[in-house]
Structure 1
Amino acid sequence: MSYLESLRVFVRVVELGSITAGGRDLRLSPAVASNRIKDLENRFGVRLLNRTTRKLTPTEIGRAFFDHAQRVIDTLDEAEALVSSFSGKPQGVIRLTAPLGLGRRLIAPLVPTFCEQNPGVDVRLRLSDRNVNIVEDAIDLAFFLGQPADSTLKWRKIADAPRSLVAAPAYLERHGIPKRPEDLAEHNCLLLRYPRSPEYFWQLQTQSGPQKMMVGGRFDTDDGDVLRAWALGGHGIANRPDYEVAADLAAGDLVRVLPDTPPLPAQFGCLTPHRRLQDPKVRIFADFAVRELKKIF
């Protein structure tokens, strides 16, 4: 492995705070990643990292070295992007992230086609319904439902994604059909929650404008597909994107609840750090994904 590749390992290990996590992100075993760090330390004759059984932190010289190494890697990536822009052949790795259900249904099917069209590009797709720190996790492109709060990121809207409140007929037979939004307080609402998530509410479209409804339920999850499964099992009312439950609604396995006051649609789009959008391979993938996804909405 070259010196520059060892620098990449060191930078990712420090960014992620773990040799295992840094190695995994670069598709290296913990042993190989650890050896790359040791090679750098032997090269300079200094300790770059303090290691304990629970924590890894850079030493004082390690922190200074990290700052310079990170600039070297950024400069190299920018140089590669410049060459790619002239050659017309994108090269390198694109790191993508998306919510679980959206990623499985809409983003994952795009990846093989894109890679076939662009053989010089590798794609790493990470799916999670939890908040992802795009900058810290070195994400190039993040697909997102909702309006992001971070103004330092560039937002590209793809479409409005309609949502519906849905439940299984069996649940409504047992517990009754809500007639007005306030009736949701008497029902088991299936919620998407995760540690440090904000207080949960549903915003419904009414004749007088958006209405915020505080809702609750006996159980929640951080996986949107689990919410859909619970709804199909007759365990409560879920607030899901239409693309996710369209087949269930068509089959009658789920029905819309309060169809005259549906949830506000979610904005569907992609996020990228401003600098990375200039990378041709990121821009090309974004254009490709937006073009294909607009066919669905």
Structure 2
Amino acid sequence: MAYLDNVKTFVRVFELRNMSAAARDLRISAAVASSRISQLEEHLGVRLFQRTTRQLNPTEQGNTFYKGATKILDAVQDAEADISNITSVPRGSLYIAAPLGLGQKIIAPFVPEFHAEYPHVHIRLRLSDRRLDLAAEGLDASFFLGVPEDSTLKLRKIMDCPRQLYASPDYLAKHGQPETSADLKGKHACLNLRYPGAREFQWPLETSEGVKRVTVTGPFESDHGEVLTNWALEGHGIILKPMFEVSDHVASGALVPVLENEPPTPIQLACLFMHRRMQDPKARLFIDFMVKKIQDALAP
């Protein structure tokens, strides 16, 4: 098992190009990760990485060993998953992430139900509207609204969620109801979800001329979706939200639809995971369970 642990550590260091990030992902110390790489290099009689103070790059031998190492680990994990499906009760911790609105309204309420069915599986749920790095954060799966930037991840599409622009009646009484997408530019305060590394924000609207990407601005922005909702409720501007996220506020009249003749395009709701994480039976069980719950909860 010690050799297999060394191989697992090598694969994560190779993929992340960072000893500390790999150690966090494996939940070991950086010193242990470094020691495992050194043991593996001594066993193989070659250097697997060229190390400098700033970079960690694989050698030619490291590139060759990685191709074989991933096949070995995939085969071992497939075999373990098959055995677990037959002989054992799912157990251990799952680290799951989700956007704040989806997590609060849809996912979190079903976590106790999943735990009641699988009492030996512990769910560690992180809610954040920021884009998260699954490998660096040590996540087993992440529910996601939009299109992922990392093409190396596996994606399971759940559904397309309709969206709408909303504002409070007080805001519209003061500033008027926009009649076309052109009215959003300069005439209205648009409340944007923005986080470090985010690109220039545009709202994709379905117009009579096709989808138009409208660059919008406003006096406030945040990386926290609930903050934007609260600002809209207080009359500070217009928000773009999935309909399910603000349905209670719309039903009460606290928020009203804006620009219904040019609505935003629907947004993809999906689950992201790394291939090897899905070999874990409890990860497959949780994702299958939650996908069904989400589809039932958000069905038209």
Range into which the TM-score falls when normalised by the shorter chain: 0.7 to 0.9
> Counterpart in 2 of 1:189?
190
For the pair 1:242 / 2:246, whether they are aligned, the reply is no
Distance in 2, matches of 1:7 and 1:18, equals 15
- For residues 25-56 of structure 1, the C-alpha deviation after alignment (integer angstroms, 9 at most, x for no partner) is 22223333333333434444544333333322
State the Cα distance separating 1:155 from its structure 2 match: 3.6
> Counterpart in 2 of 1:68?
68
Q: Whose helix proportion is higher, 1 or 2? A: 2
1:22–1:276: structure 2 CA closer, same or farther, 3 Å change rule?
closer
Identity of aligned residues (%): 45
Structure 1's unaligned 5+ residue stretches are: none
Structure 2's unaligned 5+ residue stretches are: none
1:151–1:65: structure 2 CA closer, same or farther, 3 Å change rule?
closer
State the Cα distance separating 1:12 from its structure 2 match: 1.6
Question: Across the two proteins, how many residue pairs are aligned to each other?
Answer: 294
Q: Is the contact between residue 94 and residue 283 of structure 2 (CA under 8 Å) also seen in structure 1?
A: yes
> Counterpart in 2 of 1:52?
52
Instruction: Give the aligned residue type for 1:67.
Output: K
State the Cα distance separating 1:247 from its structure 2 match: 3.3
Distance in 2, matches of 1:215 and 1:170, equals 24
> Counterpart in 1 of 2:205?
203
Structure 2 counterpart SS, 1:189: coil
Structure 2 counterpart SS, 1:296: helix
> Counterpart in 2 of 1:161?
161
Equivalence map 1:119-198=2 (5 Å)? 119=119, 121=121, 123=123, 125=125, 129=129, 141-146=141-146, 153=154, 155-157=156-158, 159-185=159-185, 186-193=187-194, 195=197, 197=199
Distance in 1, matches of 2:297 and 2:163, equals 14
- For residues 219-259 of structure 1, the C-alpha deviation after alignment (integer angstroms, 9 at most, x for no partner) is 54554334334434443211011222233334554333234
Q: Is the contact between residue 202 and residue 213 of structure 2 (CA under 8 Å) also seen in structure 1?
A: no
> Over the residues paired in the alignment, what is the CA RMSD in angstroms?
3.9
1:35–1:272: structure 2 CA closer, same or farther, 3 Å change rule?
closer
State the Cα distance separating 1:80 from its structure 2 match: 1.1
Q: Is the contact between residue 77 and residue 279 of structure 2 (CA under 8 Å) also seen in structure 1?
A: no
